[in-house]
Amino acid sequence: MTQPATQDLITVNIDGREIAVPRGTNMIEAALRLGIDVPHYCYHPKLSVAGNCRMCLVEMGMPAVDPATKAPVIDPATGRKRINWIPRPTIACSTNAVAGLHIRTTSPLVRDCREGVMEFLLVNHPLDCPICDQAGECKLQEQATGYGRGYSRYIEQKNAKPKRTLLGPRVMLDDERCILCSRCVRFCKEIAKDDVLGFTDRGSYSTLACYPGRRLENDYSLNTVDICPVGALTSTDFRFKMRVWFLRQTNSIDTGSSVGANTVVWSREGAVYRITPRQNDEVNDTWMADSGRVLYKAIRAHGRLDAVRVDGAQSALEFAVRAAAGILGVGGVAVVGSGRSSVEEQFLTRKLRDALGASASLVSRVGKGDGLLVSADRNPNVRGALVTGLVAGLPAASLDPLGAQIDSGAVKAVVSVGEDLADAGLSAAQLAKVPIVYLGTHANPTSAAARVVIPTLTVFEKSGTFVNQQFRIQKFANAVPGVAGATDDLVALARLTAAVGGPSLGGDVRSIWKQIAAEVPALAGVGYDGIPDTGLLLDGAPWAGLAFAEGPSLRFRPADPPQKEAAGRG
């Protein structure tokens, strides 16, 4: 990890411009604050400094001091402090800010250093960008435009190395492309705590490899692909499927657990190709779990519901809503909401519950947290259900109480918002005993048993917000259009609520947020558009007494009392 910078500010001079930075800030980060790019490969802000690529060499100097008086020496020619420049270039990544430090990033020496390193990196690197999967997001390719020669002085044979080594189930290595920056090695050791990667052989023949008998198969292995600056590490799921410059990037949230890792969904023409982490230093830094990267496959998974059905027959939404209202009008309705639904959907589910005078419950999904970015609560948004008032407490471990009420006849009809009741513990007999209205994305025993089925959207096909384990409300955006035949959850819920005699509500995020702001105390004054990309911390104090399942993770300690940020920030 980079040196923890202290809070006291000191002034450094970069290319003649002064900037105050916390003492200990490294020069790459300090330059970035001035908008000056110091090219680098091995440096990564979330990993230890290796200093091996030598691309970030800069000139460094300190003000000259009179040995006798300790006063700075003034250059009579310019009237400014004289700087003693060190003749050797130094690496910016391991040069930390001290008062008076001067660096030059544009001098002829620095340019010569960068060109030299570029040439060296390319002499044994394949020059075949057109067939390389990294093209378009390759740091080597980017820097070559600025510091490459344009022709090669190298007429010798290039080194030959293994081209396709499967390091683990999800990561493929092309050793010829590897520039030995050791980012992946450091990631495995420092972040994933699974020290499996290292180098074999020496010098230019050095080769990245797994330790004997080990594989790169931890749940964070694909982060090595993200941080690989070149095309050496590629994802077996994504490699050679699509050119990155064709892909649209949409901000999203990992729904794998209540951590709520920030993500980017990469899509083209309605199809998602990959999911990568998006930096949020308060939540997931620059990482995400491999398990969250495959969730997009649900969009086109077998069994996706694509038609509104009433008693098994395809129907129009209007008829289905009317039929559902008829079923639910008999009273004794139980609403099963979901910790996977967005805040907006949970708000509307609450409206539906209120209109029906019903009770509401959630389905619990508690597993084992990994201490990093998969928490014990696999529902991404249980706290949203608390904040919106859909439920007052944490979900019970099972739906057995609901089953008992069905058996006793107290519950006469059930609405399930995206939850498979069979999977949650109800028996086939219980499902058969009461009429069910089901809103969901995929076929399951509940959709099969339901009288009314309304297909809805996956997280990639709609917009909304989740509240993660920190009580941080975070936005996700619509990346691809919904499948044909599916209805936006908000539209379905709003129509259903109106049909059972509830208020007439808008079926889109912004109009619902007007209502939310007015009715939900924790979100009063928080506008949807006011939530920054990195989320907004809510005040979780009203729920501090609940026994949440989560243990510590990367940026979360359960004992931390959640604090409210200035409302409406951003």
Burial 169-200 (b: 16+ CB within 10 A, else e): ebbbbbbbbbbbbbbbbbbbbebbebebbeee
Q: Does 143 bind other proteins (CB under 8 A)?
A: no
Report the DSSP beta bridge partners of residue 248.
267
Q: Which stretch binds other proteins (CB under 8 A): 121-129, 319-327, 339-347, 410-418?
A: 121-129
Nearest distance in Å: CB 30, other proteins: 16
Q: Does 89 bind other proteins (CB under 8 A)?
A: yes
Q: Does 88 bind other proteins (CB under 8 A)?
A: yes
Q: Does 49 bind other proteins (CB under 8 A)?
A: yes
* Token code pair at residue 491: 């539209």
Q: Does 352 bind other proteins (CB under 8 A)?
A: no
**DSSP conformational letter for 157:** P
Of the candidate residues 52, 359, 515, 534, the single one contacting other proteins (CB under 8 A):
52
Nearest distance in Å: CB 73, other proteins: 24
Q: Does 119 bind other proteins (CB under 8 A)?
A: yes
d(Cα 214, Cα 330) in Å, to the nearest integer?
61
d(Cα 98, Cα 412) in Å, to the nearest integer?
72
Q: Does 120 bind other proteins (CB under 8 A)?
A: yes
Q: Does 107 bind other proteins (CB under 8 A)?
A: no
**DSSP conformational letter for 434:** S
**Within a 10 A sphere around the Cβ of 201, how many other Cβ atoms?**
10
Q: Does 54 bind other proteins (CB under 8 A)?
A: yes
Q: Does 100 bind other proteins (CB under 8 A)?
A: no
Q: Which stretch binds other proteins (CB under 8 A): 141-149, 151-159, 280-288, 447-455?
A: 151-159
Nearest to other proteins of 86, 432 (CB atom): 86
d(Cα 239, Cα 293) in Å, to the nearest integer?
14
d(Cα 470, Cα 468) in Å, to the nearest integer?
5
Task: Identify how many contiguous H helices and E strands the chain contains and give both numbers.
Answer: 13, 26
Q: Which stretch binds other proteins (CB under 8 A): 195-203, 227-235, 387-395, 525-533?
A: 195-203
Q: Does 91 bind other proteins (CB under 8 A)?
A: yes
Which residues, 479 to 538, sit near other proteins by CB under 8 A?
none
3 state SS of 495:
helix
Nearest distance in Å: CB 480, other proteins: 41
Which residues, 203 to 222, sit near other proteins by CB under 8 A?
203-206
d(Cα 296, Cα 43) in Å, to the nearest integer?
31
Q: Does 199 bind other proteins (CB under 8 A)?
A: yes
Of the candidate residues 154, 442, 519, 530, the single one contacting other proteins (CB under 8 A):
154
DSSP sequence for 395-429: PPSSSHHHHHHHHHTS--EEEEES--TTTTT--HH
Interface with other proteins by CB under 8 A: which residues? 49-55, 57, 87-89, 91, 94, 112-113, 116-117, 119-121, 123-124, 153-154, 156-157, 159-160, 179-180, 198-199, 201-206
